[in-house]
Chain A
Amino acid sequence: MKIAISSEGKTLEAKVDSRFGRAQYFIIVDSETMDYKVIDNAAVAQSSGAGTKAAQTLIDEGVQVLISSSVGPNAMEVFKAAEIPVYKAIEGDVKTNIELFKNGSLEKITEATNQGHHHH
């Protein structure tokens, strides 16, 4: 499963960025292999609409889950429409949050609207 997580740095040891739209980086982690890819968040430079732009980028990358701290209302609409569940990160590094997600300890902020649509 492809999990995106907002991050202050470029490694799994980096701290989670408490912002979403203007997070420095996104790290996209394959939860099975723990291989990851770093995305420079171009939306930081937007004067407005950073959240929706960042959301579009992640959707284009094909992420299935987002872990972040502060997803704004507009970006949240995008994730709802794309049926991507959003989980609230806890303070700490990327790796810890991935582990917490895997064992079901992170709080879900939004339900995917139509879970039956995908064949899990």
Chain B
Amino acid sequence: MKQLAILSGKGGTGKTTVATTLSTIVKNKIMADCDVEAPNLNIVLQGEIIEKQDFYGKETAVIDKNKCIECGMCEELCRFNAISNFEVNPYYCEGCGLCMYKCPVEAIKLVEEKTGHVVYAKTKSGEKVVYAELFPGADGSGKLVTEVRKKAKEVSDDNDEYLIIDGTPGIGCPVLASATGVDLVLIVAEPTLSGFADMKRVLSAIESFKVPSVVCVNKWDLNKEVSQQIEKYCEENNIVVVGKIDFDETVVKALKNLQSLSSNPDSTAYQQIYKMWLRIKEILDEGVESK
């Protein structure tokens, strides 16, 4: 199974639009929504939940009332002000463990806390989608991204040729966990200065992985000058630009109606993403030389 991760650096460039559209174009694939703090793939794909698995994403301090001598040291030490009246507020506790190490009577221990679910769903047409659901206030993490990818692998079978990973914006831990060990990274860039800068940032963040990356410029015609700069940069760095997608109001309308772009297969954007997939498929199937 070939793995494609979709990243952007900057948020709002159209990662999920590209991912949902690809999900209707590509057959024999699994979709993994690794934008775990704001999962929206399944909102559009509307898959039905098959399985929910608990995720323990955090450790929280718990005070044993029977052992506690109410000395107040933990409350004084806690940098997150998570302890008052000898009780821990789990929303404030970061699980750093300082109170546990310092408690003079060993009354405090760290307990794993359930912070969400890893969900496996299937769409009406039988397409597999894996995503995460975090409880309010819980943090996303590379660990959760890893769990989502693991689940996707678990539910895959021999017919699944591709795993398409919708990544998260930024260049942090969840991004690296989304990109590690994949066959190809698709970066969805937008022609703004911050879009261009963040594209370069994400490219440098994953550079040491030596994973081949390709770029698509979304809404390229909104700023042709920056689009040209992005293309020039890619050319200079041997990065293939696999597609340029027009700003197309059909996309806006489809998203407003919680539909994927495939409801409008004649639209310019859909046609461009379709053509882009053919190029990506070629690269994935033949393998690319790493940079």
Query: A residues near B, CB below 8 A?
Result: 17-22, 44-51, 69-73, 76, 88, 109-110
Within 8 A of A (CB), among B182-236: 204-205, 207-211
Nearest Cβ in chain A — how far from B5, in angstroms? 11
Residues of B close to A48: CB separation below 8 A: 141-143, 172-173
Across the interface, name the chain B residue whose C-beta is closest to A47.
B141
Pick the contact of B209: A17, A71, A110 (CB < 8 A): A71
* Cβ-closest 6 pairs across A and B: A18-B181, A47-B141, A70-B180, A48-B173, A70-B209, A47-B143
A73 adjacent to B205 (CB under 8 Å): yes
Residues of B close to A76: CB separation below 8 A: 208
Contacts A22-B142, A45-B143, A46-B143; A109 near B208 (Cβ below 8 A): yes
A47 adjacent to B139 (CB under 8 Å): yes
For the complex with contacts A69-B209, A109-B208, 11 further pairs of A-B residues with Cβ separation under 8 Å are A20-B180, A21-B176, A22-B177, A47-B57, A47-B139, A47-B142, A47-B144, A48-B141, A72-B180, A72-B208, A73-B204
Pick the contact of B210: A45, A51, A88 (CB < 8 A): A88
Residue B52 lies at the interface, judged by CB distance under 8 Å to chain A: no
Query: B residues near A, CB below 8 A?
Result: 57-58, 139, 141-144, 146, 172-173, 176-177, 179-181, 204-205, 207-211
Chain A binding site: helix, strand, loop or mixed by DSSP?
loop
Residues of B close to A110: CB separation below 8 A: 208
A49 adjacent to B146 (CB under 8 Å): no
Task: Give Cα A88 to B211, complex, Å.
Answer: 11
Task: Give Cα A73 to B204, complex, Å.
Answer: 9
Residues of A close to B204: CB separation below 8 A: 73
Name which of A46, A47, A73, A109 has the most chain B CB atoms within 10 A of its CB. Answer: A47
Name which of B142, B144, B173, B208 has the most chain A CB atoms within 10 A of its CB. Answer: B208
Residues of A close to B141: CB separation below 8 A: 47-48
Contacts A19-B181, A21-B180, A47-B57; A72 near B209 (Cβ below 8 A): yes
Residues of B close to A51: CB separation below 8 A: 176
Residues of A close to B144: CB separation below 8 A: 47
Task: Give Cα A22 to B173, complex, Å.
Answer: 12
Task: Give Cα A21 to B174, complex, Å.
Answer: 12
